[in-house]
Amino acid sequence: MQKLQTERDTLTRQIRDRTEMRGVEIKEAKRVVVECRRQAYGITETFAMRLAEQAREYESARRDDAARLANFVIQIASDSNRIRVLEKELAALQLAAKTPSPPAPLQTQAQAGESLPAFLVRLQLSAHQGAFEEEELDMELLRSMGRVDLEQNMKTIGLSAAETALIMVDIFLSSE
């Protein structure tokens, strides 16, 4: 019996030692798990912040690219408009070069009593008579304008650069 009791005590001590060891091992394992979770959360948070920063950088770059593209499209449209205007002016100048030259300056100078319709017919610009009448322009008013004002008014009513030059030469030669 003594032997059984000794064996029982030995087994009880071994179980207690193992339980204590297991308790320490379990506590250590739990501590390791908590530390690993903390590190995993830190890594996840770090990568989430990096991903958010990259998303912000991407969005900023996308907006910048969109702005540059819009400016480029605007510049292309502006250039296209300028090209069209220059092509029209070139066509008008080519047409003016092909039309017979007006008579000598003494014959083309506006007469003092010449009416606007007669003036426009003489310069072969009668197609623009409606625009002159709409703007209420007459010969007296045209003669009273300075070069800059006359040029601006002619552009306003839709005359080409060549037609404007033709009118200006005639009016200013007659006033000299």
Residue-wise pLDDT for 126-157, tens only, equals 898 898 888 888 888 888 888 888 889 889 88
Q: How many domains does the chain have?
A: 2
Sign of CA dihedral 118, 124, 126, 131: negative
Tracing tokens 């408009």 back to the chain, one arrives at: 81
Are residues 53 and 117 located together in one domain of the fold?
no
Are residues 23 and 62 located together in one domain of the fold?
yes
Query: Tens digits of per-residue pLDDT, 74-97?
Result: 999 999 999 999 998 888 888 877
Domain holding 50, by residue range, is 1-70
Are residues 107 and 44 located together in one domain of the fold?
no
pTM: 0.37
Residue 154: CATH number of its domain: 1.10.150
Query: Tens digits of per-residue pLDDT, 10-49?
Result: 989 888 877 777 777 888 888 999 998 999 999 999 999 9
75, two tokens: 């510049």
Whether residue 116 is contained in a domain is answered as yes
